Amino acid sequence: MTAHMLGDATKEKTTFRDLETLICDADNMLDVLADLLENCFAMAPPEGSNYVVTDPEGTRLLFVAYEAVKMSTKVRKAYFEALEGAAS
């Protein structure tokens, strides 16, 4: 039987060393998000007007923000799995 067929029964426990890639990926995604936000909102609009975000900019911002949330959630979950594994 393959590991795929066995499902979670053969899944290796997450260790703290395993978190480095997840943390770096999440950090990089947040850096991309910060750059996009700076590009859209760094300069104040003229007095009496509003910020204007184009449809492509808005779509990109939302995509990157949601990806950052997913990555952060994945890191948090992996951290608690590693913490649980270290305790046992």
Residues 13-67 have pLDDT tens digits of 778 888 999 999 999 999 999 999 999 999 999 999 999 999 999 999 999 999 9
Q: What pTM value is reported for the model? A: 0.74
> How do the domains of the chain map onto residue ranges?
20-87
Do residues 72 and 27 lie in contact, with contact meaning Cβ atoms separated by under 8 Å?
no
pLDDT of residue 11: 58
pLDDT top residue among 72 and 17:
72
Q: Closest Cα partner for 25 from 63, 80, 67?
A: 67
Describe the crossing of helices 55-87 and 19-41 by its angle, rounded to 10 degrees: 150
Residues in the chain, total: 88
pLDDT of residue 6: 44
pLDDT of residue 46: 92
